[in-house]
Amino acid sequence: MRVLDLTINENLTDWGIERTSKQKTIVMKNRSIDFDVYKIPIDLLLYNLNNGRMFMEVRKKENEDNIDLSEMKKIDPANYNNEIESLIWETSEERNEYTKKDIQKFGQIEPGVILDDGTVIDGNRRFTCLRKLHREYPNDEKFSYFQAAIIRVDGQQITNKLLKEYELRVQFGNDEKVDYKPINKFMSIYELIEKNNEDFDYTTVGELINKKPGEINKICKTCKLVDEFLDYIEKPREYQIAEEYNIYWPLEPLVTYFDNDGKNLTPVEQQKRKCLYFDYLLTLDVALMTQNLRDSLIKKVFKNKVETEKLIDKHNQIIGGLISNIINTSTSSDEFNEQINSLRHSDEAEEDKKVYQDTVGKLNDISQLDMPIKICNKINDLIDDLNIQPLISANNAIADSKLKDIQQQLKEALNKIEVKLVDIEKHEK
């Protein structure tokens, strides 16, 4: 396969590239730049491997087939394109089919963007549809070209950093055309910051995708827990498992916990809580997992060290060993999923769930017993804060009226307090 490379030959005619009358406006560093749009033979172009839409699909492909797609791109670009085309098509087959029919009827309306080495950095879905249509209608010229602006990185007006900012804005900004799976979107952001932390910090990335720096920080911490979860089940980088078990959102409250109440725990205590949490993500069958683990496990159980230790011990005795055995013996993701799903519907999982719910119920009861004391403390604090001196000092009709209202309400409150005291005295007798 012949791949476009304008660093070798800048003569567009030699490549069969034709200029159109269109222009595409690209925003870089808050500045709009107009680029000419060209008709480029689609068989000269390559997919962008760093497309966030297929983050986990790329890693799944590499893991399952034991290949390096970046190396394949260099030595076998035609096969590389075929592999990436399949991944892009499968990520949103229904939407892609719709786009394909639209292009078949009207042609390519929105130009894409390519680099001078033939890499498509904006318009991979349109490129995919055109490739399919070109195979179906090889003699139809409108399907044999990809219309796109050509960006050349010169290190001055256009730098690699500006180019990456543009890609990020296109993929995850307000103008994104297709919803991203959480793992694809957030892991792409996390990986970008981890690999390029000198150029892309929380503030920079947040400005590009319209999120606050604190939100980007939370995304990165949650993604770090996603990686820890995959390491825990001995399936590193197999992000399709994280997506299948929908673990991203339930892990967010755990980030908040370790940033606050859990930050003073010992490393051993933190790890034991993580392991319990990870196990529950695999086998605990409850509705609204995120809310349940946040409101019950984190906000109730984890606040009581004694009950937490008891729960962890009982969990490990009932089902923890079975989970560990599946982790240690499963040889593939499919086998792991099959065994975990079977365990999730087992008697052991049901017993483990009951122990968890009983612990939460017990702590709820304790909380209810403590509630009257909390209310009394609050009443005392409110009375201490009741400052009537400004009304007394005002010495006018309005102030006197308000003082009478306060006097009446205090008498009513005192009557209610006396009733409660009588109830307590009756109980003591």
Contact assessment for residue 316 and residue 276, using Cβ atoms and an 8 Å cutoff: no
In 24-181, alpha helices (H): 55-65, 69-75, 77-91, 93-106, 124-136, 160-172
pLDDT digits (tens, 9 = 90+) for 149-168: 999 887 667 878 888 888 88
In 233-320, alpha helices (H): 239-244, 248-259, 267-283, 289-292, 305-315
| Predicted TM-score of the model (pTM) | 0.78
* 28 and 139 inside one domain: yes
Amino acid at 177: K
Of 70-74, 306-310, 312-316, 386-390, the least confident = 386-390
Q: Is the pLDDT of residue 145 over 60?
A: yes
Would you place residue 176 in the very low, low, confident or very high pLDDT band (cuts 50, 70, 90)?
very low
In percent, the amount of the chain with pLDDT more than 90 equals 62
Report if residue 380 sits inside a domain. Answer: no
Under the phi-then-psi rule, with left for phi > 0, alpha for psi from -120 to 50, and beta for the rest, what region is 29? left
Predicted local confidence at residue 364, as pLDDT: 84
* 220 and 85 inside one domain: no
pLDDT digits (tens, 9 = 90+) for 183-237: 988 999 999 898 877 788 899 899 888 899 999 999 999 999 999 999 999 999 9
In percent, the amount of the chain with pLDDT more than 70 equals 96
Would you place residue 374 in the very low, low, confident or very high pLDDT band (cuts 50, 70, 90)?
confident
φ and ψ at 260, to 5 degrees?
-125, -100
Contact assessment for residue 35 and residue 23, using Cβ atoms and an 8 Å cutoff: yes
The CA distance from 138 to 131, in Å, is 10
Domain count, the chain: 4
Amino acid at 315: H
Contact assessment for residue 191 and residue 224, using Cβ atoms and an 8 Å cutoff: no
Q: Is the pLDDT of residue 370 over 70?
A: no
Of 11-25, 124-138, 281-295, 354-368, the least confident = 354-368
Q: Is the pLDDT of residue 133 over 90?
A: yes
Amino acid at 57: E
Predicted local confidence at residue 190, as pLDDT: 93
Q: Is the pLDDT of residue 428 over 80?
A: no
Domain containing 215: what range? 181-244
Predicted local confidence at residue 34, as pLDDT: 92
pLDDT digits (tens, 9 = 90+) for 83-113: 999 999 988 889 899 999 999 999 999 999 9
Amino acid at 48: N
How high does pLDDT run on average in the chain? 90
Predicted local confidence at residue 174, as pLDDT: 52
Report if residue 259 sits inside a domain. Answer: yes
* 16 and 165 inside one domain: yes
Report if residue 116 sits inside a domain. Answer: yes
Sign of CA dihedral 223, 224, 227, 229: negative
* 156 and 239 inside one domain: no
Contact assessment for residue 26 and residue 99, using Cβ atoms and an 8 Å cutoff: no
Which of 45, 367, 50 lies closest to 188, judged by CA?
50
Q: Is the pLDDT of residue 313 over 80?
A: yes
* 220 and 205 inside one domain: yes
* 170 and 221 inside one domain: no
User: For 69, what's the count of Cα atoms within 13 Å in the CB-facing half-sphere?
Assistant: 24
* 35 and 153 inside one domain: yes
